[in-house]
């Protein structure tokens, strides 16, 4: 599979994840949990959740639609790819070191999700990192 196809697959995965955010409130009982928050904190929570999903859609569309441009060496593509690498590397590190293991250990669904997300973030770092590396190596 070519780098362009991997960039498109990464984009499709991000779009799918953004769409899955529509199911999160029900799955994670946000209505009940956020009812205990102050109105300001509740609204901040929902606004941030919306913008996370929007960011995933935008990253996904960018990766899917202009994958060939991202793979082609240019200052713009190197800058975008470097941003993606930093963003997804930090997300991977958060997955591994911020979430308390007691939240997923011993729970089959949560453990499966933890492993799947760690694998997905690793894939994203690998794809965007490989694209960036190839461009950097091509410049040398």
Each residue of 41-84: pLDDT tens digit?
999 999 999 999 999 999 999 999 999 999 999 999 999 999 99
Element (H, E) at 35: none
- Give the pLDDT band of residue 136 (cuts 50, 70, 90): confident
Q: Where are the domains of the chain?
A: 3-134
**Taking 90 as the threshold, does the pLDDT of residue 138 lie above it?**
no
Surface-to-core class of residue 34, CB atoms within 10 Å of its CB (0-12 exposed, 13-18 middle, 19+ buried): middle
């Amino acid at each position: 599979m070519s780098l362009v196809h991997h960039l498109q697959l990464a984009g499709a995965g991000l779009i799918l994840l953004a769409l899955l955010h529509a199911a999160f409130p029900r799955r994670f009982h946000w209505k009940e949990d956020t009812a205990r928050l102050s109105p300001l904190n509740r609204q901040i929570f929902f606004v941030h959740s919306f913008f996370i999903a929007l960011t995933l859609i935008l990253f996904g569309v960018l990766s899917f639609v202009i994958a060939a441009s991202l793979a082609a060496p240019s200052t713009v593509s190197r800058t975008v790819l470097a941003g993606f690498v930093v963003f997804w590397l930090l997300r991977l590190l958060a997955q591994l070191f911020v979430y308390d293991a007691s939240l997923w250990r011993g729970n089959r669904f949560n453990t499966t999700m933890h492993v799947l997300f760690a694998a997905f973030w690793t894939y994203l770092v690998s794809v965007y990192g490989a694209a960036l590396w190839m461009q950097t190596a091509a410049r040398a």
